[in-house]
Each structure stands twice: as C-alpha cells, then as structure tokens.
Structure 1
Amino acid sequence: MTEPPRVPPPKPAATLASEVEAKARRKLRARRQGTPGVWFGLGMMGLVGWSVVVPTLLGAALGIWLDKHHPGGHSWTLALLVAGLVIGCFNAWHWVAKEDRAMHRDAEEHEHADE
C-alpha cells in the first residue's frame, strides 16, 4: 500500500507570532519610507548625466582656449575632451557605487532589526 502524504508539523505559536510581528514591522517601515518613484529614477539619471557632461565640456572648453592661445602639433581640444570624459565617467561610477552601498547597508540594517 502507499503511505499517506506526510504533513509537516505545525509551527509553534511563538515562532508564528514572531514571523507575523517581523512582517508587520517591515510593512510599516515600507509605508514610512515609501518606494522611489519615476521622478527619483529620472533625477538619478540626470545627476549621473551631468556628472559626466560637466567635466567633458570643461575639458573641451579648456582645450579650445589652449588651441587658440598655444597652437601646436596636437589638438588640446581632443585630448582634454577625452580626459574630461574619463574623469566624468569615473565620477559617475563613484556616485552610483556610493548610492548602491548605501542602499545595501540600509537593507542589511533593517533586516537585522527585524530579527
């Protein structure tokens, strides 16, 4: 004959109560903090974009000025435009990595607080 399916034993009341309490705390915290909306994402994209554009344009402007006042065999505009772009990309990477670390740190702190 076949055995009847095994049903796991019910959880103790204390464990169930602590799980319900943890879920309730998470829901309340989520309501207080809210979820970032579309405007938050657009603002972050704008911040990252400007952190790349500003150094690139400053490098190009300085290069144009140097090419007018100190002409030579190579283009200062092109060299400083690329240098500004590299600095801007590094700046954007640094900003995004910092925000990512902050988000993960907050999530871990809240996770440990629920325990």
Structure 2
Amino acid sequence: MDKPTVKAKNTTPRRSHSMSHHVNKKVALKLHAKRHKHPGVWFGLGLMGVVGWSVALPTLLGIALGIWLDARISDSRVYTLIFLLAGLTLGCFIAWNWVSKEYAAMHNPIVTKKANTESKTKTSKESE
C-alpha cells in the first residue's frame, strides 16, 4: 500500500509576482528608452569630463592649499600631502555621489516620472 504524499506549500505565486514585477520594470525601462532617445557619444564624453573634473579640481585645490601652508609654516611637505589626500578623498566622494544619482535616474524612470508629477501637482496646488 502506498502512503499518501504530503505536498509542500506552493511558493509559486510569490515568485511569479516578483517575476512579473521584474518583467514590468524591464518593459517600462524599454518604453522609456524608446521615448527618450539615447544622448550618444558626446553625452558619455561629457559625463567622463564631469567625473574627471569633480576629482581633479578638489585635488588640485588641496595641493595648492598645502603648498601655501608649507611655505608659510614649515619647509617640509607635510601639509601638501595631507591636503592632497583630503582633496582626492573629497573629489572621489563628489564623483561617486554624482554618478550614483545619475545611475538611479537612468534605472528608475518611473520613480523619477512620479516624483516630477507629484512636484508639479504640489506647485500647482500651492499657486492656487
């Protein structure tokens, strides 16, 4: 005689929900990409320039401040090295912050669109 088998709980609806959500998100990204054409090569070059300058400028300012302090206070290059590292750290943080915001804007167009719609609604209500 065969023993009756006990069936485990079915977790398929949960997976299908997350999969359908994932598919809907991909479809929304593709539709957004079709509506808003890709900026092209010049946009990418400009992006690299902005990231490069956001790192280079604080680093150069840190070096300049360090050289000036070394000339005023001591003959060693201690302040130059300190402010070189501080400027480089600040520049990398600025670049990382900026790139993460751009990445979020590119990969969450629905959230961005909803936020823009809500802000327009708030401003129109405030103007009344």
Is the pair's TM-score, using the shorter chain for normalization, greater than 0.5? yes
Where does the alignment leave 5 or more consecutive residues of structure 2 unmatched? 1-26, 114-128
Let me know the Cα RMSD of the aligned residues. Answer: 2.6
Is 1:40 matched up with 2:6?
no
Contact conserved, 2:69 with 2:79, CA < 8 A, in 1? yes
Identify which of 77, 85, 92 aligns with 2:88. 85
Alignment TM-score, normalising by the size of structure 2: 0.58
What is residue 105 of structure 2 aligned with on the other side? 102
Deviations 1:49-72 (A, max 9, x none): 000001000000000000000116
Where does the alignment leave 5 or more consecutive residues of structure 1 unmatched? 1-21, 111-115
Contact conserved, 2:58 with 2:88, CA < 8 A, in 1? yes
Question: Which structure would you say has the larger RCO, counting Cα contacts within 8 Å and 6 or more residues apart?
Answer: 1
Is 1:53 matched up with 2:56?
yes
The percent identity for this pair of structures is 55
- For 1:51 and 1:43, the matched residues in 2 are separated by 12
| The 10-residue stretch of structure 1 (86-95 or 68-77) with the greater mean CA deviation from structure 2 | 68-77
Following TM superposition, by how much is the alpha carbon of 1:36 offset from its aligned partner in structure 2, in angstroms?
A: 2.2
Distance 1:53 1:65, change over 3 A: same
Alignment length (residue pairs): 86
